[in-house]
Amino acid sequence: MSNTFGQLLKLTTFGESHGAAIGGIIEGIPPGLSIDFDQVSHEMARRRPGQSAIASPRKETDVVEWLSGIFEGKTTGTPIGFLIRNQDQQSTDYDHLKNVLRPSHADYTYMAKYGIRDHRGGGRSSARETACRVAAGALVKQYLKTQHIDVRAWVSQVGSVSMSQPVALDTLYLAEENLVRCPEPETAAKMIAHIETIRAQNDSVGGVISAVITGVPVGLGEPVFDKLQARLAYAMMGINAVKGFEYGAGFAAASSLGSQMNDSFEIKSGRMITTTNHSGGIQGGISNGMPIDFKVAFKPVATISKTQKTVNLKGESIDLAAKGRHDPCVVPRAVPIVEAMAAFVIADMLLLSKANQPLS
C-alpha cells in the first residue's frame, strides 16, 4: 500500500477512521518558514465534520499536534511529524456492516486485496485520512504564499445545480460565506436546498469543485511523464470519491477546432501572456505563467440509508439500509482537500524546478 505522496516535497500519512489517531510526516519544506498556526486551524475547520447542517454530524476538533520539525514557530528543514487524535468514534454504529459489502464502497476490494478489512467507518479507505492532507497543505500553502502563489477552490456544481457563469477572482471570497462554498449566493441557496432534499430521501449527491492557481511562474512541469497536468490529475484522483479531472477547456476541446482552442500570445507590460486561456495555464506539460484552472468531479457518497441490494460475506443476497454518520454531499468539505493537494503539487514542482536550474 502506498502511503507517501510527492517527490522532493513528500507527505506520508497513517491511521484509520476509528483508530486512536491519524497523522503524518512532511519532508521537504524549506527551513525558516514562519508558521501561522491560526491559519492551520482555519484550514482544518473548513474540512472537519460537524461544521454545518449539510455535513456529517461526527464531532472532531481536528486539533493538530506538531511533534517535530518546527522550533520556535519556524520550520527547521527536518521531517515535520504531526498527530490528529480521533475523539468521536462511534464504532458500534458499524456493527451491522461487519459482514456486509456496501455497494460501490471499498469493502469488497479491500477484503479481496488484503484478506481483512476494518469495517468501522471504512478504516484506511475512509475520507477521515484527508484531514492529514489538509494539515500538511496548510503549511505548504503558507510556503507558496512566500512565492506569491495562491490556490483557491470552490463548489461550482451540486447534482444538477450549477453556477450560471464563470466566477470572477475578486468574488471568490463569497465561497466561504455559505455552507456549500459556492461564490454565487443565489446558486448556493439552491445547492443547499438540493442537498437537504436528497438527505431527506436517505440518499446522496455528487458535484464538481473548480479551482484556480495564480502566480505560478513559467516552467513548472517535468515532461514527459511528470507533466504538470498529469501530476495534478494524479493528486486529484487520489482523493476519496473523485471520478474525473479536467483542466483548461477540458473535454469541450474535443468538439472544438484548433482555431477556436489555440491561445494566441501577446506582450503586455513586458510580460508574455495569452489572450485566452483554453490551455488552463499549461502547455506541453509546463506552466506558461497564466492562471492554472481545473475541475474535479465527485461521485455521490457510497454509504446511504436508502435500502439497497447487496451481499454479505457468505454470498447471501440481503437488503441494506446503512446506518452511521455520513455526508449527503461530500463536495463542500472537499474544497480544502482539493486546495491542499493542488498546493502540494505546485510546491513540489517548484522545488524540482529550482533543483534543475541550468548552469549559468
Kindly state the average pLDDT of the residues 146-150: 98
DSSP state of 212: E
Using a cut of 0.85, tell me whether the model's pTM lies above it. yes
Report the pLDDT value the prediction gives residue 92, as an integer from 0 to 100: 57
Q: Would you tell me how many other CB atoms lie within 10 Å of the CB of residue 265?
A: 10
Between 122 and 205, the higher pLDDT residue: 205
Kindly state the average pLDDT of the residues 87-103: 73
Ordered structural domains, the chain, with CATH: 4-355 (3.60.150.10)
Residue type, 314: K
What pLDDT band is residue 1 in, cutting at 50, 70 and 90? low
What pLDDT band is residue 51 in, cutting at 50, 70 and 90? low
Between 265 and 327, the higher pLDDT residue: 265
User: What span, in angstroms and rounded, lies between the C-alpha atoms of 184 and 186?
Assistant: 6
In the chain the beta strands, taken as DSSP E runs, fall at 4-5, 10-15, 21-27, 64-66, 70-71, 74-75, 80-85, 100-101, 150-158, 161-162, 207-214, 242-247, 265-268, 271-274, 282-283, 286-287, 292-298, 308-312, 317-320
Between 58 and 38, the higher pLDDT residue: 38
